[in-house]
Structure formats: C-alpha cells, structure tokens
Structure 1
C-alpha cells in the first residue's frame, strides 16, 4: 500500500479493484495517436483504470474517499464488459493497517457511478447491507437525487443495488461541505451533474482529488475530457479553474483511477516535480 505521511495526517491507497475501459471513450474526441502516447492500452483498445480508494487519517478521524468496485457485486457478464481483472481487497488492506470497515467514520463520494459506488454494499445472510457499518456517506444532493432517479443514459451507471441499502447513512450537501477542518467536498458538475471534488488543506499544503474531471495524469490537458462526461464544457472549465488554484498553492493531485500514479505535483511549467507511484502487485 502506498502512503503519503505528514505531521498529523496520512493518506493510504487501498486496493478497490481494477477495470479496463475503452480508451476512445476515456479520451473523448482526442485522437488515438495522441492519447496512446500518454497512457498504455491493450489489444482491445482498453486502458487500465484502477478503482482504488484512499484512506485519510487526520484528527482522530478515518475518512475513506470513494469505495471501489466491491467483491462479488458484479455478474460475470459485467466483469467481462468492464474488463475487471481484480475485485476489491479493501477489507484485507484495512486489516493490514490494524483497522476494520467498522472503523471508517466517513465515506466521501465524489459521485455515485458504479465504478465508485459498488463497494458501498455487500451481501450478508443473503441481504444487501452497508459495507461501512458506522460511516456517514457524503455526496452532493444533486448526485444523490440522480442516483435514485437516473435518466435514460445515466441508469446504466446508477444502480439501485448501490444505494438502497445505504439510504439511511447518506448525508447530502449543496455547494460545498467541510467534513472536518481542512477537508472539503466541493460540487463541480461536469462528469455528472452532481460530481464533486475533494480539497485537503493541512499545515500549509494543499491536496486535490479532481475525481473524474481529471481521472488520470494523462488527462491533465484541460481539453482532454471523457466521452462519458454529461457536461464536457463544465468539466473543462472546472478542471482549468482547479489547475490554476493548484499552481498557486503548489498542490498535489490525488488519483483514484490512474494505473501508475497515486499522487503528482506539477510545477508552473507543467513538469512533474514530485510523485507517488503505485507498486506493482507481485505474483
């Protein structure tokens, strides 16, 4: 497990599973000769997309960001269609940290698409129950409303099995919400109407998780947005805005989907000056 440590705070990446999605869809109108130079693909034109939540430990709180794809929640057909080669090992990773799923205080959901939200629910005695028994699940009000009442397009990714069992645990917000001092979810729209980003401020440092308006390091070009985005112009505007803020604050970007990078800091010339790289699983 990769970990960023600061005085009074740590961020640890857990294994939430992995998908392989169509590269053309993930880079929208960007031609393959361009995007393929920045991100590897397989013979099916799919790119590896991790679904790895990260655990923030700060001020006595344990805060999970995103939830992975879960274990045993996808059918064989879904696993094949979404290129799933690993399912979640979050519970095992928590045990390695001497924690359990009951120790999580908050789960912060930037949005509720299946590749972020399927890890929120599990089967117990044949019944769907919350994975994180004691956690408050936080997402934007707009996102939560669409999750429960998806439109003809979004119903392919907002699934009842991912919200019904957690309904009583969800706390929604409008605009932005401070979870604990220094940790905020901020509604941006773009990838979905209710999409949010995460901002962490800690002892003079800033960490940003732009979620799916910048899902990988290869998407750092402000114009490179997903064909999956419901509002691509909003994605471009919000990505540009937060990249400018990041330059001013010399912020780190945190990633949930990137196959290689966990965290990256760019300088004002767009050069990577610091990074945390995912260790390849052995065996």
Structure 2
C-alpha cells in the first residue's frame, strides 16, 4: 500500500478493486491517437481504472475518500460488463494497519456512482447492511437527492442497494463542508450534478482530490472530459478553476482511478510531473 504524509494528514491507498472501461467513453471527444499516448489501452479498447479508497488519518480519526467497488455484490454479468478483474480487498488492507471497518469515522463520497459507492454496503447473512456502521457518510445534497431519485440516464449508476442500508448515516451539504480543520469538501457539479472535490490544506500547502473531474493523470488537460460527464461544461469550468489553482500553488493531486499514479505534482506550467507516488503493480 502506498502512503503520503501531508502535514498532519496520513494518506494510505487501499485496494478497492478495479474496472476496465471503454477508453473512448473515458476521454470523450479526444481522438484515440492523442489519449492513447498518455494512457494504455487493451485490444478491446478498454483502459484499466482502479477504484481504490484513500484512507486519511488525522488527529485520531479515520476517514475514507470513496468506498471502492465492493465485494460479492456484482452479478457475473456486471463483473463482465464493467471489466472487473479484482473486487475490493478493503478489509485486508485495514487489517494490515490494525483497523477494521468499524474504526472508520467518516466516508467522504465525491459522488455516488456505482464504482465509488458499491463499497458502502455489503451482504451479511443474506441481507444488505452498512459496511461502515460507525461512520458518517458525507455527500452533497444534490448528489444524495439524485441517488434516491435518478433520472432516465443516471439510474444506470445510482443503485438502491447502495443507499438504502446507509440512509440514516448520511450527512449532506450545499456548497462546502469542513470535515475537520484543514479538510473540506466542495460541490463542483460536472461529472454528476452533485459531484464534489476534496481539499486538504496544511501550513500553506495544498492537496487536491479532483475525483472524476480528473480521474487520471491523463485528464489534466482542461478540455479532456469524460463522455460519462452529465454536465461537461461545468466539468471544464471546475477544472479551469481548481487544476490551474492547484498547479500554481504547487499542490499534490491525488487519484482514485489512475492505474499507475497515486499522487503527482506538476511544474508551474503544468507540463512536467516533478514529484510522484506510483502504484505498486507487482
């Protein structure tokens, strides 16, 4: 497991499983000859996307950023269609740190699409229950509303089994929510109407988790947005604001989906990666 110490925040990437999704859909209108130079693609035009929660430990509290793909919930058809080669090993990762799911104090949900939210619930004695019984689950009010009342497009990714068992644990916010000193969520929209990013600030330094506005290092370009984005113009506007600000500030950028990178820093021009934490793919 990879780690990053950012001031008082200790970040650890856990194994939340993976998917293999269509590369064209993940890069929208960007031609394949361009994006395939920056991100590898297989013979089925699929790219590997991790679904790895980030454990954030600070001042005796344990938080997760998103929850992984889950384990034992997806049907054989879903496993095949989403290209899942490994399901979540969250329990094992936590155990190696001396923790269990009961030790998680909060889960910061950037949004509630299935590949981020499936890990919130799991089967226990044949019944779906909350995986993190002692956690507050944070998400934007807009996202929570759509999760429970999806439209004709979003119902394919907002699933009842991912929200009903945890509805009593959810705490929502409108524009911005401070989780603890130096850690906050900001509603951006774009990828979904309720999508949020996560910011950590410590001693004049910044860490940005752009979630699915910038799911991989290859999506750093402001105009490279997903075909999956419900509001791509909002995605572009949020990236224009936050990615530029982060690069100018020398921020760390962290990733949930990137197959190779856990965190990177770019130079002032955003052209070259000057620091990075790579995923151990052994």
TM-score by length of 1: 0.98
Cα separation, 1, equivalents of 2:58 and 2:34: 40
Within 5 A, what are the aligned runs for 1:70-109?
A: 70-109=70-109
Within 5 A, what are the aligned runs for 1:140-151?
A: 140-151=140-151
Cα separation, 2, equivalents of 1:73 and 1:44: 25
Cα separation, 2, equivalents of 1:272 and 1:134: 38
Matched, 1:12 2:22: no
Cα separation, 1, equivalents of 2:34 and 2:250: 27
Within 5 A, what are the aligned runs for 1:10-49?
A: 10-49=10-49
TM-aligned CA deviation for residue 7 of structure 1: 4.5
Cα separation, 2, equivalents of 1:7 and 1:181: 12
TM-score by length of 2: 0.98
Cα separation, 1, equivalents of 2:156 and 2:204: 41
Question: 1:186: which partner in 2?
Answer: 186
Q: Secondary structure of 1:236's partner?
A: helix
Cα separation, 2, equivalents of 1:220 and 1:74: 31
Long gaps (5+) in structure 2: none
Alignment length, in residue pairs? 281
Within 5 A, what are the aligned runs for 1:199-238?
A: 199-238=199-238
After superposition, the CA RMSD in angstroms is 0.8
The runs of 4+ residues in structure 1 deviating greater than 6 Å are: none
TM-aligned CA deviation for residue 202 of structure 1: 1.8
Long gaps (5+) in structure 1: none
Question: 2:167: which partner in 1?
Answer: 167
Cα separation, 1, equivalents of 2:258 and 2:70: 18
Cα separation, 1, equivalents of 2:269 and 2:153: 39
Deviations along 1:178-210, one digit per CA (max 9) or x if unpaired, are 000110000000000000000001232211000
Bigger mean CA offset, 117-126 vs 239-248? 239-248
